[in-house]
Amino acid sequence: MPGAGAQSSGWGPPTETERLLHETAAAGDRDATLDTLARSRLYVLVARLHADTPGYAPLFTARPDPVTPGRRCVTAHTSGTLPPWHPEWVFEKIDLDELGRRWPDGVRWLVINPGTPYAVTLAAGPGRRRAWQKAHERSAGPPAGLLVTHRAGPLHGPLAHGLALGAHLAVHNGLVWNDLGATYEGYSTDRARLRNPWGVLDRAAYRETLEALLTTRLVGRTYESVLQIRRTLAGRLGRTPTDPEWSAALTDALTRSRPTPSEAAEAHDALRLAVTYEGRLRADGALGADERVDTLAAFDYGRAVNVVRLALGARLCDPREAEQAVLRIGALAGQAYGSWAQFSLGYSLARAMHFDEDEQPGVTYEQSLAQHRVLTQDPNSPYRNIAWS
């Protein structure tokens, strides 16, 4: 079994979760500690051989307490203190309620983050576990829509730059954006997210999907060609074309290329969506009056970073492969965009257009706008602290 220490011995809690746990435990405020745990992602160590067994549920094995000799406990980690990646040991996510319901008989202690400065020990008798359930009921679980930074992870340089390209999805899910470690969201969840929607079940499929994203084959050829028509026209005019000028140029291009009726309709619909959502971005102050989005490649690059992190968590690649892939994504994005703001707008517009036919397209747009604002305005955002080039 890999060591239980945190990845870095640097001063300060790795994430806000560990800070809150440390403060509430130091104050002796048990209810506040439980509330923090109920809002946190917890992880338990599992042998990969067992995790790959269909229908397997992790068993909470009692281990010697690392602090108190002769005492046995169950251990779990928060996201900031997970041990380094290991090919045969994985981490499954769990919440405080499930931990209490599946608690092993005869074990009276739970240790969170053992072997770290942010370790918390909780009594785990039947009465105490009922308090866990109440804390779970009070909470809404781990919050989404948050920027979460691992202070011991990459914060500057090419690797941090590449990881920050995936920050929209990390913010959307409330996950750490700057980590290539033992898990992304939990071993089984990482595998499930690769399976659906990506159809990735093995290393070969992962590499094929990654290559498709790196070459921006999934963002939509029609979307990109319609934006390219406007970009070419802008070069000739020396300014951004009006919407009627853009529409006329698209019609001319379609007349020359003679697409099928469905292809022509798709192109006109792409223009309509771009005009609609760029208009909303301008109205909301995210896109300047004279600004435009010239490529949606950011959507594929951002998703590529997350596919890499999922594959690392699912053990379909190792940390070195993952790092090289993220660096490659960063280099490609640097060629396609001139700033973090341009990249973020490209991602946001692509996401809004891509999910326009969903039942709640307005919700998708509002989520994308919120992510853009967090990443471009929060003083702790990588987009405010990492140079684009």
Q: What is the DSSP letter of 81?
A: G
pLDDT on residue 360: 78
- DSSP string for residues in 239-298: SPPPHHHHHHHHHHHHHHH---HHHHHHHHHHHHHHHHHHHHHHHTTSS-TT------HH
Segments making up each domain of the chain, as ranges: 16-138, 158-218+297-385, 221-283
With CA atoms as reference, report the closest residue to 50 among 22, 11, 91: 91
- Residue 93 CB contacts under 8 Å (≥ 6 apart), including other chains: 41, 42, 43, 183, 185, 186, 189
pLDDT (tens digit per residue) in 94-133: 999 999 999 999 999 999 999 999 999 999 999 999 999 9
d(CA 84, CA 183): 9
pLDDT above 80 (res 52): yes
Are the C-beta atoms of 111 and 120 separated by less than 8 Å? yes
Per-residue pLDDT at 201: 98
Nearest Cα to 300, choosing from 371, 208, 193, 219?
A: 219
% the chain with pLDDT above 90: 90
Model confidence pLDDT, tens digit, residues 154-183: 999 999 999 999 999 999 999 999 999 999
Q: HSE (CB half, 13 Å, CA atoms) of 224?
A: 15
Partners of residue 293 on adjacent β-strands: none
Tell me what pLDDT residue 374 has: 98
- For the cut 70, the answer to whether the pLDDT of residue 13 exceeds it is yes
Report the distance separating Cα 286 and Cα 263, nearest Å. 31
Q: With a threshold of 0.85, does the pTM exceed it?
A: yes
pLDDT in tens, 257-272: 999 999 999 999 999 9
- Would you state the pLDDT for residue 3? 37
For the stretch 215-269, pLDDT in tens is 999 998 999 999 999 999 999 999 999 999 999 999 999 999 999 999 999 999 9
